[in-house]
Structure 1
Amino acid sequence: MSVQTEGTDTAGATGVRKTEAPPPRETGRPVAKRRAGASAPYLLLLPALLATLILLGWPLVKNGMLSFQNLNPRQLILHLTEWNGIDNYKEVLGSPDFWKVVKRTVLFTAANVVLIMVIGTLVGLLLARLGKKMRLLLLFGLVLAWAMPVLAATTVFQWLFAQRFGVVNAVLDSLGWHSMADHNWLGTQMSTFSVVTLLIVWQSIPFVAINLYAATTTIPKELYEAASLDGAGAWKSFSSVTFPFLKPFLLATTFLEVIWVFKAFPQIFAMNEGGPDRLTETLPIYAFIEGFGNQHFGMGSAIAFLTMLVLLFLTAYYLRLVLKQEEDEL
C-alpha cells in the first residue's frame, strides 16, 4: 500500500511523491499459531520419548545401580543394600576369564557377520536377476526363515544335529561317513560354535538379502546401459555401478548385524547353555550365568554394563565411518 504526499523535487517544482507505508504489525494470534506449528513435531515425539525413557532408561539406571552393589541371596532375603563401589568392576576386569570371553565374543561376532553379509549380499543380487516367479518363490522361503521364532529354530537345529536320531548324522552315515553316525556335535567348542553359527547365519540372511534387493531397485537402469556400452563386464559393472549405490545400505546393515550377533543369547543358551565346560559363553551368556546362575547379581550387572560399553564403542566407530563417508561425498 502506498500514500501520496506533496513535496518539492530537485528542480524546485512541487510534485507528488510516493512513499511506502510501513508493513502492518502482526497480531498475537499468527505468531502464536506459528509457534504452535513449530512445536508440533516435538509434541508428537514426546510420547515415544517418554516410553523410551521408562522402558529403557529406568532399567539402564537400575542396572547401573546394581553394578555398584554386593547383591547376593543373603541381601535379597534380608532386603539389604550393600554398596561396594567399583569392587565388582575390579573383579570382572581383573579376571582372565572375562577377557577370554571378550575375545571369544569378538571373534564369534566377526565370523558370523562376515558370513551373513557375504551370503546375504549374493542372495540379494540373485533376487535382482531372477524372474518374477522364481523371485517370489525365493522371497517366500526367505520370509518363512526370517519369521520363524528363535527358540523354534533352535529346537529344529538341535533335532537336526542330535547325537542319536539326528538327520545330519543319518545323512552322513548313509553317504559313507560311518564314524559320524553317533557324532556329538555339541561335545566340543568348535563343533558347538559351528552349529550355532549355521543357525544364526541361516536366520540373518533373509534380512540382509531382502534389504539389499530393495536397494538394487533404486539403481537407475541407464547406468547399467552406459556401463555395457563402455564395454564393462559383470565385475566392472558391479564395482562401478552397483557397489557405490549399495555402500550406504551395506554399512547400515553390517552395523545392525554386528549388534544383533554380538548380543545373541537364546541361540547359544538354548543350544548348549554355553557348554561344554563354559567354552562357548559369549558376553551375554557370561553375564547371565554369573548373575542368575551363580546368584552374583551385582557381578552380572557389572558384566552387562561393560557389554553395553563395548556396543557403544562399536556404535561410535560406525558413526565415524558414516560421517567420513558423508564428508567424502561432499
Structure 2
Amino acid sequence: MSAVAPSSAVPGSPVAPGRPSPSAAAVRHRPRPRIPYLLLVPAVVVLLLGMGYPVVWQLITSTRKFGLAQQFGQPAEFVGLGNYLALVRDPQFLAVIARSIAFCLVTAAVTVVVGTLLALLMTAVGRVIRLVLQVSLLLAWAMPVVAAMTVWIWLFDRRRGVVNYLLDALGLPFYRFDWLAQPLTFFLVAMIIVVWMSVPFVAFSVYAGLTQVSDEVLEAAQLDGASGAQRFRHIIAPMIRPVLSIVLLLQLIWDLRVFTQFTMLQDAGSKSSDFDVLGTYIYKLATSSQDFGTASAFSVLVLLLTIALSWFYVRDLMKGEQR
C-alpha cells in the first residue's frame, strides 16, 4: 500500500504537531473591528448631552457670585475659585462632609450584609416561601418614596407612632419619645428607611449571582466536612465577588446622594443644620440662601468625592476583567 501524502492545512483547522503557531505579535497587531465602536457612538453622544451639559453649567456657575442684584437681571460677578475657598473655610461644610461619608459607609455596609443574607435565605427555602419573599421585596422596592416616607414618619411619630406604642407596651421608657429631635436617633431612623428601600435591589442582584454557583461544588464541600460559613467564605464569596463589588459601589453612590428621605424627615421633625447631609445642604444653599454659586461649587465637590469613593472599586473591577 502506497503512503498517502499529507494534505495541506485547511485554513481554520487545528495546527499540525510540530508546525509553529501564529506569533503573539501578529495576533496583537491584528486590526480590530470598528463596528463595535461605531455602535457606541449614539450612546456616548446621548451621555454627553444628558450629563455633560449639566456638569459644564455647574462648573461655570460655581465661579460666579449670585446675590440680590441677579434677581433683577444683573449678570453674576465672576469670582473664580472664591466660592470653593469660602466653602473650605466654612466649618459647617466639613461637618456635612464627615456626616455624609459616615452615613454612606455604614448604611451601604448594612444594606449589602442584609441583602446578601436575604439572598442566601432565598436559596435555602422552598419554592413557595421564596416566591412570597421575592414578591414582598419587590413591593417594598416598587413603593414610591413619598408614600413610603409617609408611612415611616407615621410609624415613628412621637404621639401616634406604632414604634413608641409597642416599645412602651414592653415596659421601655419610650412614651412620646421624639425620634427626630436628636441627631443620633434621627440618623438611626434615616438609616433604617434607606436600608429598607435599598435591600431588595441588593438581594435580587446577589441572588442572581448565587444561581450561577455550582450545586455540585457546594455538595462536595459539604461532604468534605465544610460548614456553611466555610462554604460561603471559600466558595460562594469568591464566585459572587463581582456582584458584591458592583452593588456596594452603587450603594455608596446612592447613599451619598440621598435627599428625599432626609428632607421629609426634617420637615416632620427638626430643621436644624445638625441633620443636614450633602443633598439637603446644597438644596438649602440654593433655595433658602439663593447662593447658587456656592451651591454649584458644593455640587462639583460632591461629584469629585463620589469619583474618589468609587475609584477603588472601579479599579478593582477593571483588574478583575483583565485577569
TM above 0.5: yes
> Residues 323, 42 of structure 1: CA spacing in aligned structure 2 closer, same or farther, 3 A cutoff?
closer
Q: How does 1:134-283 map to 2 (within 5 A)?
A: 134-177=129-172, 179-273=173-267, 275-283=270-278
Q: Which residue type is aligned with residue 307 of structure 2?
A: L
* Cα 1:45/1:325, change in 2 over 3 Å: closer
TM-superposed CA distance for 1:159, in Å, is 0.8
Look up the match of 2:101.
106
Q: TM-score, normalised by structure 1?
A: 0.84
Distance in 2 separating the partners of 1:148 and 1:319:
30
* TM-superposed deviation, 1:73: 3.5
CA 1:223–1:51 in structure 2 vs 1: closer, same or farther (change >3 Å)? same
Displacement of 1:163 after TM fit?
1.5
3-state SS of 1:279 partner:
helix
Q: Distance in 2 between matches of 1:275 and 1:51?
A: 41
Query: How far 1:297 sits from its partner (Å)?
Result: 0.7
Name 1:12's counterpart in structure 2.
none
Q: Distance in 1 between matches of 2:317 and 2:255?
A: 21
Distance 1:73 1:133 in 2: 63
- Opposite residue 243 of structure 1, the aligned amino acid is A
Instruction: Verify the 8 A CA contact 1:189 1:276 in the aligned structure 2.
Output: no
Deviation of the 1:152 alpha carbon: 1.4
Q: Which has the higher contact order (CA 8 A, sep 6+)?
A: 2
- How many residues are paired up? 291
Quote the offset at 1:78 in angstroms: 2.2
Deviations 1:97-156 (A, max 9, x none): 111111111111111011111111111100111110000000000000000111211111
Give the direction of change, closer, same or farther, for the CA distance of 1:41–1:195 in structure 2 (3 Å limit): same
1:89 aligns to 2:84 (yes or no)? yes
Q: 1:43 Cα shift?
A: 4.2
Pick from 58, 63, 67: which aligns with 2:62?
67
Deviations 1:180-215 (A, max 9, x none): 221111111111111111100101111111111111
Between the aligned partners of 2:109 and 2:74, the Cα distance in structure 1 is: 47
Partner of residue 49, structure 1 = 44
**How far apart are the structure 2 equivalents of 1:234 and 1:191?**
35
- 1:117 alignment partner, SS class: helix
Q: Which moved more, 1:197-206 or 1:226-235?
A: 226-235
Q: CA deviation at 1:323?
A: 3.7
Unaligned runs of 5+ in 2: 1-31
Larger-Rg structure: 1
Percent of aligned pairs with the same residue?
Answer: 35
Counterpart of 2:255, as a letter, is V
Shift of 1:41: 3.8
Cα distance in structure 2, aligned partners of 1:167 and 1:232: 44
Q: Secondary structure at the match of 1:181?
A: coil
Note the residue ranges of structure 1 that are not aligned, 5 or more in a row: 1-36
CA offsets, 1:246-280, max 9 Å, x none? 11111111001000100001011111159452111
- The structural deviation recorded for 1:54 is 1.9
2:120 corresponding residue in structure 1: 125
| Whole-Å separation in 1 of the counterparts to 2:162 and 2:210 | 37
Cα deviation, 1:211-248, whole Å, max 9, x if unaligned, reads: 11111100111211221232212122112211111111
Task: State the alpha-carbon separation in 2 of the partners of residues 93 and 160 from structure 1.
Answer: 38
Partner in structure 2 of residue 30 of structure 1? none
Question: 1:80 is paired with a residue of what secondary structure?
Answer: coil
Deviation at 1:79, TM superposition (A): 3.4
1:324 to 1:50, Cα distance in 2 relative to 1, 3 A = closer
Which AA in structure 2 matches 1:136?
L
CA RMSD of aligned residues (A): 1.8
Q: Which residue of 1 aligns with 2:26?
A: none
Contact 1:188–1:276 (CA under 8 A) maintained in structure 2? no
TM-score, normalised to structure 2, is: 0.85
